[in-house]
Amino acid sequence: MVVKTKAKVSTKSTKKSLSVGSLLSISQLTVQDVDLILRTAAEFKMSRGRGKGDQPLKGKVMAAIFEKNSTRTRVSFETAMYHLGGTMLYLAGRDLQLGRGETIADTAQVLSRYVDSIIIRTDTHRKVVETARCARIPVVNALTDYAHPCQALADLFTLKERFGKLKGLRLAYIGDGNNVARSLIFGAAKTGIELALASPPGYEMDKHTIELSEKDRWKSGGEIYITQDPSRAVDRADAVYTDVWTSMGHEKEQAERVRRFKKYQVNAKLMVQAAPHAVFLHCLPAHRGQEVTEEVIDGSQSVVFDQAENRLHVQKAILALLMGKR
Ligand code: CP
Ligand code: NVA
């Protein structure tokens, strides 16, 4: 990734800047970056976007390329831009010339002449890296097959809000070793969370991701435990997280995945094996009756709608820090 700017914004805790010019993966952030994003998000959440100085992006325009469906990411980014004084242009991939074969490199260079930042949700992570390489403006990964950093930052924010700390928290992730799980691994490693992942054989997290996060875990005191047994993963967990069994782009594998993931449902029987105070997280959208039961996701332990709300506050922080005062 190319680091082009070290943007500054004017609110209290945002006097400092991020070490990166774009947000592609949490693995590329420093511990201080993560802390700054979470603190800035807390300020935005408290002010609800109404406080003085909360429009650091007045007059700025952001292009939002979506090559996959979205509810939360699209609407929270658009609302965030509006609250911060700017505008988001929603660009469906199929409507752009991208849909007719124009390269992402040319698209990124052209958009850089018009707008002040780009967010992109697409299939391959390589495309987002290429966008950031060719753009002259900040680029934010709004989900790829590899990572979903904005989601995981909102998840960290939600956990911190609930427990007052991240270091030493026990988080269990049950299910597919996918983009969301990967970003959680990177986020947990930066913040000292003890993360246990239970995935069915063949759907585990890749070794490279575990290795890539090792240095951060060593520094933060975070731990990672990989198992195929959901009961072991949730043992005494403070939080239990799951995601869909079939991510976007894998629809053809759905029937097979439903068979292979059956034992990986987060249900009441599994939740009682976590700590009594445990919360349930899900990035949404959810499939009740598959990865989670209705009883759990709609029950008292569920914080999924806080999580969804926090996307807005965290993305405000990301945008203000990357785009403010450029
Ligand atoms: N969690 C999440 O990214 O939701 P959307 O796919 O609706 O944006
Ligand atoms: N893993 C899911 C996350 C959706 C927000 C997917 O990629 O479809």
Q: How confident is the model at residue 14 (pLDDT cuts 50, 70, 90)?
A: very low
- Residue 109: strand, helix, or coil: helix
Question: Does the annotation count 32 as an active-site position?
Answer: no
Query: Rounded to 5 degrees, what angle do the CA atoms 116, 149, 301 make?
Result: 130
| 175: alpha, beta or left? (left if phi > 0; alpha if psi -120 to 50) | left
What pLDDT, on the 0 to 100 scale, is given for residue 47? 85
How many angstroms is it from 74 CA to the middle of ligand 1?
A: 8
Do residues 277 and 285 touch, judged by C-beta distance below 8 A?
no
Whether residue 94 is predicted with pLDDT greater than 80 in this model: the reply is yes
Do residues 182 and 208 touch, judged by C-beta distance below 8 A?
no
**Residue-wise pLDDT tens digits, 264-303:** 999 999 999 999 999 999 999 999 999 999 999 999 999 9
248 lines ligand 2 (CB under 6 A): yes
Nearest atom within ligand 2 for CA of residue 243: 1
Average pLDDT of the residues of the chain: 94
Question: Does the annotation count 217 as an active-site position?
Answer: no
Find, among 230, 182, 183, the residue nearest to 207 by Cα. Answer: 182
For tokens 């731990």, what's the residue? Answer: 223
Handedness of CA 244, 249, 251, 252 (dihedral sign): negative
212 lines ligand 1 (CB under 6 A): no
Nearest atom within ligand 1 for CA of residue 283: 1
Do residues 63 and 53 touch, judged by C-beta distance below 8 A?
no
Which of 67, 69, 73 to mutate for ligand 1's pocket (most ligand atoms within 8 Å of CB)? 73
Q: What is the distance between the alpha carbons of residues 26 and 35, in angstroms, rounded to a whole number?
A: 12
Nearest atom within ligand 1 for CA of residue 74: 8
What pLDDT, on the 0 to 100 scale, is given for residue 11? 46
Nearest atom within ligand 1 for CA of residue 248: 6
Structural domains in the chain?
Answer: 26-147+312-323 (3.40.50.1370), 149-308 (3.40.50.1370)
Q: How many CA atoms lie within 13 A of 98 on its CB side?
A: 21
Q: How confident is the model at residue 32 (pLDDT cuts 50, 70, 90)?
A: very high
- Amino acid at the residue 171: L
What pLDDT, on the 0 to 100 scale, is given for residue 51? 53
40 lines ligand 1 (CB under 6 A): no
Question: Does the annotation count 326 as an active-site position?
Answer: no
Q: Are strands 87-92 and 61-66 parallel, antiparallel or unpaired?
A: parallel
Question: Does the annotation count 148 as an active-site position?
Answer: yes
**Residue-wise pLDDT tens digits, 200-249:** 999 999 999 999 999 999 999 999 999 999 999 999 999 999 999 999 99
Q: How confident is the model at residue 325 (pLDDT cuts 50, 70, 90)?
A: low
Quick one: which ligand is closest to 315's CA?
A: 1
**Residue-wise pLDDT tens digits, 161-177:** 999 999 999 999 999 99
What pLDDT, on the 0 to 100 scale, is given for residue 54? 63
151 lines ligand 1 (CB under 6 A): yes
Q: What is the distance between the alpha carbons of residues 249 and 238, in angstroms, rounded to a whole number?
A: 31
How many angstroms is it from 285 CA to the middle of ligand 1?
A: 6
Find, among 236, 235, 210, 238, the residue nearest to 224 by Cα. Answer: 210
Mean pLDDT of 47-58: 72
Find, among 229, 323, 243, 248, the residue nearest to 290 by Cα. Answer: 243
116 lines ligand 2 (CB under 6 A): no
